[in-house]
């Protein structure tokens, strides 16, 4: 870029700092009357124009902490205690703490520090000054160190390092942070710019509505040049969270396949979460280690439905023997955080009328289980639920629906394995192939509801295809997230870099 063009492209802030480029950032801010952010931004623009070259170095800085600022003003706790003992010579421990006005932690730290330096002795519940009186007036290494902060770690001398190690053991006296040190080197073009006497202060920065109304305010005058090829800061516009993007996409797939969305509450009774799905009341899945129970109870639905579910558990239906135990209504009333979205399916089936068959429904929602949180497990997760109610439905139809859904979700290889679930028969597990890791990922289960489920809910046995695979693993696979907890951390930097769900 020609010298004249560069001069005509300089912003007011750039022109302000050019005379002080041989100074450090702090001095440039002081002499140009600009804040640090404005100075750094102007320096980066000057670098883009070839006027300077910037270098960055990370420095470890030792700064004074919250308590340190107080102690620098009032004195370290051991100094205040030492001054008191210089006057009193001997005091009971409780009197020494009371008169020195130190907290319990400060008093203990002071006693330890003064004993280590042989200034005091603690005996029979008393604290006595035994040091040299002349040494009291001398400032300790720790006091001298506090007075000199902030300092660069690399510049510390051996005695300062000793003071640092001592103070680091105590709360909030000092703090360490990494600071970016900016180096400025003026280029040959920069030197010419600095020495140039050409005036550029009369350049117009921007056009305003007022200027457009008055032609004389801009006609015949020069505008500052703008370099449209110069890099600018990234602008992160608003967008939906990537998990919500994935959920929206899955919702669109189900609706495109002709399914109607069903919704339900997160807090449900054990009746809907377990009993209506033929899960025995003594089944391990209902115990505290798997389920979040709420210390309240809910009312049960209509008596006929409750009676049919009770019969299904105690005696069974259509050839089934049931679980052969006394079903307890009070146990069924217990409220829980739903452990799966299948409870929405059971509620939906109970409300269907005979003239509404065949019917197809889906749900996507949060579920909760009492799991130990780690990279692959969480106490909450997303699940996609689906049911097809059709007298002519069969197992092959079930596999077809699942294959179509996960193919649309972007998985090229899908397999099904035989499985067992209390409320479906036959049952399958769904796996998808991860080409990157070259492993099969288990996503969840599916099957056809047993008569013990459908007869109480529908009045007769009608084939109901059902599935409820977890959805979070699909999201992790697409976004290459290795830790499940990343889905919920909401790190803004990472969220801005996340690609859109564009399957």
Beta-carbon contacts of 266 under 8 Å, excluding residues fewer than 6 positions away, are: 337, 338, 365, 366, 368
**Burial level of 360, CB count in 10 A (0-12/13-18/19+)?**
middle
pLDDT in tens, the chain (503 residues): 577 778 778 888 888 899 899 888 889 999 999 998 899 989 988 998 888 999 888 888 888 888 888 888 888 888 888 888 877 888 888 878 888 888 888 888 888 888 888 888 888 888 888 877 777 777 888 888 888 888 888 888 888 888 888 888 888 888 888 888 888 898 888 888 877 766 555 678 778 888 888 888 888 778 887 777 766 777 777 888 888 888 898 899 999 999 999 999 999 999 999 999 999 998 888 887 688 899 999 999 989 999 999 999 999 888 889 999 999 999 999 999 999 999 999 999 999 888 888 999 999 999 998 887 777 777 888 899 999 999 999 999 999 999 998 888 888 889 999 999 889 999 999 988 877 778 888 888 999 999 999 999 998 899 999 998 888 878 887 787 887 888 888 878 788 877 776 54
In the chain, the domains with their CATH numbers are: 66-151 (1.10.10.10), 244-492 (3.30.930.10)
Cα 127 to Cα 425: distance, rounded to the nearest angstrom = 80
> What is the structure's pLDDT at 312?
93
Query: Do 28 and 54 touch, CB atoms closer than 8 A?
Result: no
Cα 164 to Cα 68: distance, rounded to the nearest angstrom = 12
Cα 152 to Cα 130: distance, rounded to the nearest angstrom = 37
CA distances from 12 to 29, 169, 200, 340 (A): 14, 48, 9, 62
Instruction: Return the beta strands (E) in 326-379 as ranges.
Output: 334-337, 359-368
> What is the structure's pLDDT at 35?
92
Cα 384 to Cα 405: distance, rounded to the nearest angstrom = 11
pTM of the model: 0.59
User: What is the bridge-based pairing of β-strands 260-261 and 359-368?
Assistant: parallel
52-64 sheet: strands from edge to edge: 151-152, 52-64, 174-186
Query: Do 36 and 181 touch, CB atoms closer than 8 A?
Result: no
Query: Do 346 and 276 touch, CB atoms closer than 8 A?
Result: yes
Query: Do 278 and 322 touch, CB atoms closer than 8 A?
Result: no
> What is the structure's pLDDT at 200?
54
Cα 78 to Cα 76: distance, rounded to the nearest angstrom = 5
Cα 7 to Cα 193: distance, rounded to the nearest angstrom = 7
Residue 446 structure tokens: 């599916």
φ, ψ of residue 121 to 5 degrees: the values are: -140, 135
Cis amide leading into 358 (omega within 30)? yes
SS3 357: coil
Range list of H helices, 208-322: 209-213, 242-256, 270-273, 303-314
Cα 306 to Cα 304: distance, rounded to the nearest angstrom = 5
Cis amide leading into 393 (omega within 30)? no
> What is the structure's pLDDT at 1?
54
Max CA separation in the chain (angstroms): 102
Neighbours of 40 (CB within 10 A): 17
Give the DSSP per-residue string, 485-497: THHHH--HHHHHH
| DSSP run (H or E) holding 190 | helix 188-195
Cα 487 to Cα 481: distance, rounded to the nearest angstrom = 8
User: What is the bridge-based pairing of β-strands 90-92 and 174-186?
Assistant: unpaired
> What is the structure's pLDDT at 199?
55
N residues, the chain: 503
Rg of the chain's alpha carbons, rounded to an integer? Answer: 37
Cα 20 to Cα 1: distance, rounded to the nearest angstrom = 22
Sign of CA dihedral 474, 476, 482, 483: negative
φ, ψ of residue 277 to 5 degrees: the values are: -100, 25
């Amino acid at each position: 870029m020609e010298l004249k063009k560069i001069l005509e492209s300089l912003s007011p802030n750039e022109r302000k700092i050019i005379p002080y480029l041989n100074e450090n950032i702090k001095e440039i801010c002081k002499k140009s009357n600009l804040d640090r952010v404005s100075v750094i931004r102007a320096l980066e623009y000057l670098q883009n124009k070839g006027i300077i070259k910037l270098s960055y170095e990370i420095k470890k800085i030792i700064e004074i902490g919250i308590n340190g600022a107080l102690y620098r003003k009032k004195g370290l706790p051991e100094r205040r205690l030492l001054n008191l003992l210089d006057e009193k010579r001997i005091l009971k421990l409780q009197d020494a703490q009371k008169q020195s006005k130190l907290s319990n932690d400060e008093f203990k730290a002071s006693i330890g520090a003064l004993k280590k330096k042989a200034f005091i002795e603690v005996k029979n519940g008393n604290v006595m000054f035994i040091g040299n009186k002349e040494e009291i007036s001398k400032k300790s290494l720790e006091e001298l160190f506090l007075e000199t902060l902030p300092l660069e770690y690399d510049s510390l001398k051996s005695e300062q390092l000793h003071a640092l190690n001592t103070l680091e053991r105590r709360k909030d006296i000092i703090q360490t942070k990494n600071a970016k040190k900016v180096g400025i080197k003026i280029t040959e073009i920069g030197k010419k710019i600095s020495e140039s006497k050409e005036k550029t202060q009369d350049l117009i920065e921007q056009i305003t509505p007022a200027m457009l109304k008055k032609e004389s305010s801009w006609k015949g005058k020069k505008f500052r040049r703008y370099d449209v090829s110069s890099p600018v800061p990234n602008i992160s516009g608003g967008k939906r969270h990537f998990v919500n993007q994935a959920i929206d996409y899955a919702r669109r797939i189900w609706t495109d396949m002709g399914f109607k969305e069903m919704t339900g509450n997160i807090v449900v009774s054990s009746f809907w979460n377990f009993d209506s799905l033929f899960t025995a009341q003594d089944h391990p899945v209902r115990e505290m280690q798997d389920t979040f129970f709420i210390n309240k109870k809910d009312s049960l639905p209509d008596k006929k439905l409750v009676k049919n579910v009770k019969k299904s558990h105690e005696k069974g239906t259509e050839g089934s023997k049931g679980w052969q135990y006394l079903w307890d209504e009070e146990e069924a009333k217990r409220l829980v955080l739903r452990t799966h979205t299948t409870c929405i399916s059971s509620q939906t089936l109970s409300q269907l009328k005979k003239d509404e068959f065949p019917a197809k429904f889906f749900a996507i929602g949060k579920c909760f289980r009492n799991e130990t949180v780690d990279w692959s497990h969480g106490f909450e997760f997303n699940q996609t639920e689906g049911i097809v109610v059709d007298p002519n439905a069969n197992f092959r139809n079930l596999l077809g629906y699942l294959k179509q859904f996960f193919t649309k979700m972007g998985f090229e290889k899908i397999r099904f394995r035989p499985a067992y679930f209390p409320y479906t028969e036959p049952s399958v597990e769904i796996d998808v192939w991860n080409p990157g890791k070259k492993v099969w990922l288990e996503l969840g289960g599916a099957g056809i509801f047993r008569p013990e489920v459908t007869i109480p809910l529908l009045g007769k046995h009608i084939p109901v295809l059902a599935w409820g695979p977890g959805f979070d693993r699909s999201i992790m696979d697409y976004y290459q997230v290795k830790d499940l907890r990343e889905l919920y951390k909401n790190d803004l930097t990472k969220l801005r870099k996340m690609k859109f769900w564009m399957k």
